């Protein structure tokens, strides 16, 4: 079983739709969780950190469910520019700033269509 698992998609949604992705992790001691965005043939960039009970940033909401060991990313009112691959990232050691142990999911591809 992979340490971080994501539905690869692709998710194809119309503009304005609400879409949600889930990510499960295997290490119950994990403390730090993140969503990165990666455009086609580009580098990943931090979208959101997810701490404690979750985080919201404009149209994006990330939530954490420790009991079930998953995090989710909700995108409301999808824009064409949201088309990208979304990577779930987990720090399994639970030590803040211990970047050497980050585990990346394979990503979920989203395409928003007009």
Partner 1 sequence: DADVTQTPRNRITKTGKRIMLECSQTKGHDRMYWYRQDPGLGLRLIYYSFDVKDINKGEISDGYSVSRQAQAKFSLSLESAIPNQTALYFCATSDPGGAGNTIYFGEGSWLTVV
The answer to whether residue 42 forms part of the interface with partner 1 (CB under 8 A) is: yes
Angle at CA of residue 53, ends 78 and 12, nearest 5°: 20
Q: Look at residues 89, 86, 69 and name the one whose alpha carbon lies nearest to residue 78.
A: 86
The answer to whether residue 43 forms part of the interface with partner 1 (CB under 8 A) is: yes
The answer to whether residue 97 forms part of the interface with partner 1 (CB under 8 A) is: yes
Q: What is the DSSP letter of 52?
A: T
Q: How far is the CB of 28 from partner 1 (least distance, A)?
A: 19
User: Of the ranges 13-21, 52-60, 72-80, 95-103, which one interacts with partner 1 (CB under 8 A)?
Assistant: 95-103
The answer to whether residue 20 forms part of the interface with partner 1 (CB under 8 A) is: no
Tokens of 44: 């990943």
The helix (H) or strand (E) run that includes residue 66 is none
Task: Using CB under 8 A, pick the residue from 1, 40, 99, 114 that binds partner 1.
Answer: 99
Is there a contact between 85 and 37 (Cβ–Cβ < 8 Å)?
yes
The answer to whether residue 81 forms part of the interface with partner 1 (CB under 8 A) is: no
The residue with tokens 């987990």 is 90
What is the binding site for partner 1 (CB under 8 A)? 4, 8, 32, 34, 41-46, 49, 87, 91, 96-97, 99-100, 102-107
């Amino acid at each position: 079983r992979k340490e971080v698992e994501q539905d690869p998609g692709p998710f194809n949604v119309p503009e304005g739709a609400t879409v949600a992705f889930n990510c499960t992790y295997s290490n119950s001691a994990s403390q730090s969780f993140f969503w990165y965005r990666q455009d086609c043939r580009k580098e990943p960039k931090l979208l959101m950190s997810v701490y404690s009970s979750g985080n919201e940033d404009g149209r994006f909401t990330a939530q954490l469910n420790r009991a079930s060991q998953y995090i989710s990313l909700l995108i409301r009112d999808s824009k064409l520019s949201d088309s990208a691959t979304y990577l779930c990232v987990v720090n399994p050691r639970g030590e803040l700033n211990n970047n050497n142990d980050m585990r990346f999911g394979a990503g979920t591809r989203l395409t928003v269509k007009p």
